[in-house]
């Protein structure tokens, strides 16, 4: 299954329109009428990249690379200068990343394979669970969703609607139930029915950290009773529109949850999509999936090269 085929890349470009247009417009303004790199240009470039949430460390690396490459050089046109800057940005962003995760149809290391999804309410956690389920289902994996967010009113009903859209079953007990009990039932059912993947939706409150930590720890202990290695993954969902606030949320969660990867959502709604390129570097965690829209099929594997291509290139495939 090719998740970054022509349709996937086209959808990715569409989802990153706000970030790409903002970045390109600002770079075009800075390079207008210039044929050489000076201190003013470098300062403006740094401001642009930081504003796009590319991250301070990555921004400084890009500025250093542009400085080194442009030493003693005069460019024939502003277009040539712009192309050089874009090439250096692309090079740094691609080279600084980790390898992207395998496709949904790849063999799993365990059966059932238990994935716990965590994150604050409003980040897109519930919809991400359903979208993951949809992708695994399309990859011919047998999936069940565990509705372990029993704290929030109507959480089960919301997840049920999305599970129906994904075409996968859901196991839950409604508001106020013991979330660990829901997970135990879900994992037990998965073992007996030969299910490939169990996706666990969890409560998303951060204001009571100790209670949430205890709840998540209990969920993991209960899952391990049936499957000692579970959960095999813990994915943290972050809202891309919140920029650097997402980084702070991640730091809070990773204090008491062993997060193995990130899901960045709502990238179609922000001009600061560069957060995806800096957050894994700051947190030392891989971004595994990105959301570029509200539809059930709008969650994609994060492939850094494809992301950078969609971020920096025009629709006709040529550099800006």
Q: Where are the domains of the chain?
A: 6-99, 113-311
Q: How far is CA 182 from CA 156, 255, 289, in A?
A: 11, 25, 26
pTM (two decimals):
0.82
Q: pLDDT tens-digit profile of 140-190?
A: 999 999 999 988 878 899 999 999 999 999 999 878 889 999 999 999 999
| Range 6-99 has CATH code 1.20.120.140 | yes
What is the number of helices (H) and of strands (E) in the chain?
12, 8
Sign of CA dihedral 277, 278, 279, 282: positive
Give the residue from 130, 128, 136 showing the smallest Cα distance to 104.
136
| Range 113-311 has CATH code 3.40.50.300 | yes
Give the residue from 126, 198, 128 showing the smallest Cα distance to 155.
126
**How much is the pLDDT for 208?**
58
Look at residue 267 and tell me whether its pLDDT is greater than 60: yes
Give the residue from 235, 234, 247 showing the smallest Cα distance to 274.
247
Q: pLDDT tens-digit profile of 84-111?
A: 888 887 777 666 555 555 789 899 999 9
Find the mean pLDDT for residues 58-75: 87
- Torsions phi, psi of 40, nearest 5? -65, -40
Tokens of 116: 């716990």
Find the mean pLDDT for residues 20-30: 83
Q: pLDDT tens-digit profile of 218-245?
A: 999 999 999 999 999 999 999 988 877 8
Look at residue 317 and tell me whether its pLDDT is greater than 60: no
Mean pLDDT over the full length of the chain: 84
**How much is the pLDDT for 168?**
96
């Amino acid at each position: 299954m090719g998740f970054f085929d022509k349709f996937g890349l086209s959808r990715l470009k569409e989802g990153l329109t706000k970030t790409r247009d903002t970045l390109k417009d600002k770079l075009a303004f800075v390079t207008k009428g210039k044929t050489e790199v000076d201190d003013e240009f470098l300062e403006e470039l740094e401001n642009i990249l930081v504003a796009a949430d590319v991250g301070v460390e990555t921004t400084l690396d890009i500025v250093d690379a542009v400085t080194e490459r442009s030493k003693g050089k005069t460019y024939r046109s502003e277009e040539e200068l712009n192309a050089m800057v874009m090439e250096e940005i692309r090079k740094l962003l691609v080279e600084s990343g980790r390898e992207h995760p395998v496709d949904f149809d790849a063999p799993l290391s365990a059966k059932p394979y238990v994935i716990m999804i965590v994150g604050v309410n409003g980040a897109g956690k519930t919809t991400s669970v359903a979208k993951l389920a949809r992708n695994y289902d399309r990859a011919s994996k047998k999936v069940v969703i565990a509705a372990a967010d029993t704290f929030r009113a109507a959480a089960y009903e919301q997840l049920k609607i999305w599970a129906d859209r994904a075409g996968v079953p859901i196991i839950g007990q409604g508001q106020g139930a013991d979330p660990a009990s829901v997970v135990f039932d879900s994992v037990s059912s998965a073992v007996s029915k030969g299910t490939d993947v169990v996706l666990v939706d969890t409560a998303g409150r951060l204001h009571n950290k100790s209670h949430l930590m205890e709840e998540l720890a209990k969920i993991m202990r209960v899952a391990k009773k049936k499957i000692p290695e579970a959960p095999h993954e813990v994915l943290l969902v972050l809202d891309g529109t919140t920029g650097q606030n997402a980084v702070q949320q991640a730091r809070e969660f990773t204090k008491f949850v062993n997060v193995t990867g990130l899901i960045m959502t709502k990238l179609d709604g922000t001009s600061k999509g560069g957060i995806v390129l800096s957050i894994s570097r700051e947190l030392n965690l891989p971004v595994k999936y990105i959301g570029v829209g509200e539809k059930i099929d709008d969650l994609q594997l994060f492939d850094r090269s494809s992301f950078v291509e969609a971020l920096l290139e025009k629709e006709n495939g040529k550099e800006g």
